[in-house]
Amino acid sequence: MDDDFLSKLLESHNYLTQRDSADHPAVNCPADRWTDCAKSLRDEHGYDMLIDATCIDWDKESPRFSAVYHLFSTVTHKYIRIVVDAEDDENPSVPSVTSLWAAADWHEREAYDMFGVTFEGHPDLRRILMWDSYPWHPLRKEFPLAGHDTELPDIAVREETGTPVIPAPMAGGPFVSSKQAGAMSKNEPRGADQSWNEEEEKPK
């Protein structure tokens, strides 16, 4: 039944192409037709729920970013996956579907926050998980797992207390390995302070 639906959909929307999928029907949609396609899927095919929206970073490939949408129908209980490639690799952009599904608002904000993909027509495209002045997009493939040292937004604290915010050291945190040579226990920042124990007193 799924194959039947998919072939009919591909026939009636000739700009769509089939996409490999291990489960639900999946199609590729060009960015400039995405809003038309979304409108038709919602109004004519009953996909009334935008269940999930996210991006994938293809790293060295071009187009580099793809937006992935999962729609669900509360009537037929079927899913469909639509993948929209962002055309520009430097300033990737995909049309927003916030006017069709209110759920797209936060999902697209998250995708923008994590990948730096802008959603044209989004009414309020701000970061959602990271703070507004954060300079990176953490789910891009070149972003290291351990993270980058970043200045924290300490303006409010400094105003109140007169002291700046000192970020916790990256070394010793999760997924951070030290660049120094020697035994690992020596390089742990906490290791320096472990010379004392029950018998030996902590050096003053």
- 51 neighbors 133 (Cβ within 8 angstroms): no
Single residue of 15, 33, 88, 128 touching other proteins by CB under 8 A: 128
Cβ neighbours around 104 below 10 Å, total: 20
Contact pick of 3, 4, 20, 142 for other proteins (by CB under 8 A): 20
Pick the closest to residue 103 from 66, 51, 55, 67 (CA basis). Answer: 51
Euclidean distance between the first and the last CA atom of the chain, given in angstroms as a whole number? 76
- Stretch 72-111: interaction string toward other proteins, x if CB under 8 A: --x--x-x-x-------------------xxx-xxx--x-
Residue written as token pair 């040579």: 181
Q: Least separation, in Å, of the C-beta of 140 and other proteins?
A: 10
Taking CB under 8 A as the binding criterion, the range among 5-13, 88-96, 123-131, 190-198 that sits at the site for other proteins is 123-131
Contact between 157 and other proteins per CB under 8 A? no
Place of tokens 């793809």: 66
Q: Which is nearer to other proteins, 35 or 54 (CB)?
A: 54
- Measured at the alpha carbon of residue 202, what is the angle toward residues 198 and 204, in degrees to the nearest 5? 160
Give yes or no for residue 23 binding other proteins (CB under 8 A). yes
Using DSSP, state whether 98 is helix, strand or coil. coil
Neighbours of 96 (CB within 10 A): 23
Q: What is the DSSP letter of 52?
A: E
**What is the x/- site pattern for other proteins, positions 183-202, by CB under 8 A?**
--------------------
Q: Which of residues 45-74 bind other proteins (CB under 8 A)?
A: 48-52, 54, 56-57, 68, 70, 74
**Peptide bond between residue 63 and the one before it cis (omega within 30 degrees of 0):** yes
Instruction: Please report how close the Cβ of residue 153 comes to other proteins at its closest, in angstroms.
Output: 12
**Measuring CA to CA, how many Å separate 13 from each of 51, 72, 110?**
22, 19, 29
Provide the minimum distance between the beta carbon of 102 and other proteins in the complex, in angstroms, as a whole number.
4
DSSP classification of residue 189: T
According to CB under 8 A, which residues from 159 to 178 bind other proteins? 175
Task: Point out which span in 4-12, 28-36, 44-52, 180-188 binds other proteins (CB under 8 A).
Answer: 44-52
Instruction: Tell me which residues touch other proteins (CB under 8 A).
Output: 19-24, 26, 48-52, 54, 56-57, 68, 70, 74, 77, 79, 81, 101-103, 105-107, 110, 114, 128-131, 138-139, 143, 145, 147, 175
